[in-house]
Structure 1
Amino acid sequence: MKLPSLKLPTLKLPRRWLKRSLLSVGIVTSFAGLSVQAQPLIVEGALDQDVFQPVLDAFLASNPDIQMDYRDRSTLMADTLARTARPAPDVVISSAMPWQLALSNDGLAQPIDTEETRQWPAWAKWREEVFGFTFEPIVMAYRLDLAAAMKPPMTHQDMLTLLREHQEVLRGRVVTYSPQSSGIGDVLAQQDARYTPKMWDLVSAMGHAYVREATSSKAMLEGLSAGRYWLAYNVLGSYAMVWAQHHPEVIVQVPNDYSLVMMRTALVHRDAQHPVAGKRFVNFLLSKAGQSVMAGDTPLFSLRSDVIGPYTAQRLRDEVGDHLYPIPLDASLLAFVDPLRRAAFLKRWREQMKD
């Protein structure tokens, strides 16, 4: 199933999101008329601010006493700063779910006890400290050039077959996440190893086809539109859908055998200087008001069943079917950041990519 067939409305996101540069970090997002006594809130977020801005605006509109400093980071940078920055950030947001659980496991998060957090699904939270608040499918995306030259892949087996049978044509024209340089890339690669019996065959085929590695979905999508790549594997569907709406040369495909679903997660840092503001923000992300903004004004997909909009988990399930596999927030993820296991995984990845 091609994701654009969902007929989702075009989001009115700022056009600068569709260009090359990321927003500068440390931009202060403030509510008009904010008083000088406003309470600061520092957020380290591995989530593009342009995509997230409608949610930030809605929060600030309902909390005019808070002045937010939202810092747009990579997953690994957000984790590093959560561990080393002094003063510590108030809130950390990331798609690298194991790293977030590890922060909690290492005592760097504090519990949040509200009606919203108590009622949040057990599979989408950890120790009342880490909360998943989006529902984003992992997809493949390709240029129409690929469709003109060969049958586009619809499953992971198709991807393997394509790389083997069209190795020369696809040489250097396929891109995927780097598990070495991207936290979410590492998560997705290790999750594929759980669900795809031929995972290492696929990685070996990637190596023979000189598949490129990127550190963000944006870099992969930009490469597709520029013609550097014909096919992108394991792209965040939330970003890919918006991109395809503005770039008709790009087609998005939800794998028909299984599609991983990742969640952005949020936590309040143990050493937050402004913990009350941080907890209000995380609570808003889980609230019906916050989730309604995600469902209607962003491609991040709301988790709540009582929210209506084009971007909800339920609508995605209705359209795609029963082959969505959400990555749960449970203890199994902690194994992914175990130093020895991760080193062994990355060593094998490098070997297979060079095979």
Structure 2
Amino acid sequence: MTGRHWRWVWMACALLTALPAAATTLIVEAALDQDIFEPVLRAFQQANADIQIDYRDRSTIDVEQRARASDDPPDVVISSAMPWQVALSNDGLAQPLTTPEAQQWPQWAKWRNEVFGFTFEPIVIAYRLELAAAMPPPSTHRDLLDILTHYRQQLDGKVVSYSPYSSGIGDMLFQQDARYTPRMWDLVAAMGAANTDFRGTTRSMLEGLTAGRYWLGYNLLGSYALVWAQRHPEIIVQVPNDYSLVMMRTALIHRNARHVDAARRFVNFLLSKEGQFVMAGETPLFSVRPDVIGPYTAQRLRDEVGDHLYPIPVDATLLAFVDPLRRQSFLKRWNRELKILRQPAD
């Protein structure tokens, strides 16, 4: 090869080296509103310029179905439906993360180093100011049962909660309620008598409260409700004073992830001090780490609410909630207490 040819080869190699490397596209299936989560996504991309995120914001049911589909698997799966996430891991659809952050993550917030709870979100009651003018606003589950019983006509059609049919988080919360209060089925019966509407998302419940269709919402995600109430002063958010469930968004790396390195970096960022700092300061998702300071941290929530927070642990007990026979039995009683013969529509 002549010197001239070598010169052309050298120039071609130099041009190829100068071209920016093609960014990896990380596919994230998530039951987490993108506008809430955007500060975290932005911070991750600023620290990882070689990764682009294809963020697919869906319902808990859609996320679970897509995680189980054999074609086009996601890299990372995020959901508030904690039992379904643990079930995905138990069925072999997750892979472990073994970074120092993962190894040191609290045991109550992870499962097999595969499913990681990275937020700490209270479950709340929300109501309109009109309700407070017409009746004592509820601050406990007993209060809620009392007003549904004694003010049933005024509340007829004006109460909303999650549907255990169309929402994985809704199903989990009502089943958790059954663990913590012996009056849960009385409460469900009272909701049925008041012609309660059942929806698939906290957002749709909040929109209905703002529009005046509802006066009272039960078992809403506090992370969404607290931010909503800041912009809509007609809505009051109450963390129940007897017990308040706390759920965690969980993240896992899919077994068939096509971009494993990017997926590991992303989930590790959610657990890192940097990622948790963004969650505590720029989102209402409440960080888990005790070494993070900000307006939305688990420790600050505990300081404000007291000792009646009941975090739902990420452990094997969650698998019972997705057992087909148990779920069938739960929904059968749900329908009997509500006195409905068909599946509630979202």
* Short-chain TM bin: over 0.9
Please list the CA deviations of residues 113-152 of structure 1 after superposition, one character each: whole Å capped at 9, or x if unmatched.
0010000000000000000000000000000000010010
Is 1:35–1:65's contact at 8 Å kept on the other side of the alignment? Answer: no
CA RMSD of aligned residues (A): 1.0
What stretches of structure 1 of length at least 5 have no aligned partner? 1-33
Distance 1:73 1:210 in 2: 28
Partner of residue 165 from structure 2, selected from 180, 183, 198: 180
Please list the CA deviations of residues 313-343 of structure 1 after superposition, one character each: whole Å capped at 9, or x if unmatched.
0000000000000000111100000001001
Which residue number in structure 2 is paired with residue 16 of structure 1? none
Which residue number in structure 2 is paired with residue 120 of structure 1? 105
1:11-50 mapped onto 2 (5 Å cutoff) = 35=20, 37-50=22-35
Please list the CA deviations of residues 293-313 of structure 1 after superposition, one character each: whole Å capped at 9, or x if unmatched.
000000000000000100000
Which residue number in structure 2 is paired with residue 238 of structure 1? 223
Distance 2:147 2:247 in 1: 26
1:151-170 mapped onto 2 (5 Å cutoff) = 151-170=136-155
Tell me the amino acid that sits aligned with residue 265 of structure 2.
R
Based on CA coordinates, which of the two structures has the bigger radius of gyration? Answer: 2
Which residue number in structure 2 is paired with residue 86 of structure 1? 71
Please list the CA deviations of residues 264-301 of structure 1 after superposition, one character each: whole Å capped at 9, or x if unmatched.
00000000001110010000000000000000000000
Please state if 1:224 is matched with 2:209.
Answer: yes
Aligned length: 322
1:318-337 mapped onto 2 (5 Å cutoff) = 318-337=303-322
Distance 1:198 1:287 in 2: 40
Is 1:45–1:93's contact at 8 Å kept on the other side of the alignment? Answer: yes
Partner of residue 177 from structure 2, selected from 182, 185, 192: 192
Please list the CA deviations of residues 224-280 of structure 1 after superposition, one character each: whole Å capped at 9, or x if unmatched.
000000000000000000000000000000000000000000000000001110010
Is 1:182–1:215's contact at 8 Å kept on the other side of the alignment? Answer: yes
How much has 1:36 moved relative to structure 2?
A: 5.7
How much has 1:40 moved relative to structure 2?
A: 1.4
Secondary structure at 1:61 match in 2: helix
Tell me the amino acid that sits aligned with residue 264 of structure 2.
K
Distance 2:243 2:234 in 1: 25
Secondary structure at 2:241 match in 1: coil
Q: 1:71–1:85: structure 2 CA closer, same or farther, 3 Å change rule?
A: farther
How much has 1:87 moved relative to structure 2?
A: 1.8
Is 1:87–1:273's contact at 8 Å kept on the other side of the alignment? Answer: no
Distance 1:282 1:124 in 2: 14
Partner of residue 211 from structure 1, selected from 173, 196, 208: 196
Which residue number in structure 2 is paired with residue 24 of structure 1? none
Partner of residue 266 from structure 1, selected from 247, 251, 261: 251
Please list the CA deviations of residues 82-129 of structure 1 after superposition, one character each: whole Å capped at 9, or x if unmatched.
001512000000000000000000000000000100000000000000
Instruction: Give the percent of matched residue pairs that are identical in Structure 1 and Structure 2.
Output: 71
Please state if 1:57 is matched with 2:4.
Answer: no
Q: 1:259–1:35: structure 2 CA closer, same or farther, 3 Å change rule?
A: farther
Q: 1:323–1:37: structure 2 CA closer, same or farther, 3 Å change rule?
A: same
Please state if 1:296 is matched with 2:281.
Answer: yes
Tell me the amino acid that sits aligned with residue 120 of structure 2.
F
How much has 1:350 moved relative to structure 2?
A: 1.3
Which residue number in structure 1 is paired with residue 88 of structure 2? 103
How much has 1:189 moved relative to structure 2?
A: 0.4
Is 1:177–1:234's contact at 8 Å kept on the other side of the alignment? Answer: yes
Instruction: Tell me the TM-score normalized by structure 2.
Output: 0.92
| Stretches (4+) displaced over 6 A | none
What stretches of structure 2 of length at least 5 have no aligned partner? 1-18, 341-346
Which residue number in structure 2 is paired with residue 139 of structure 1? 124
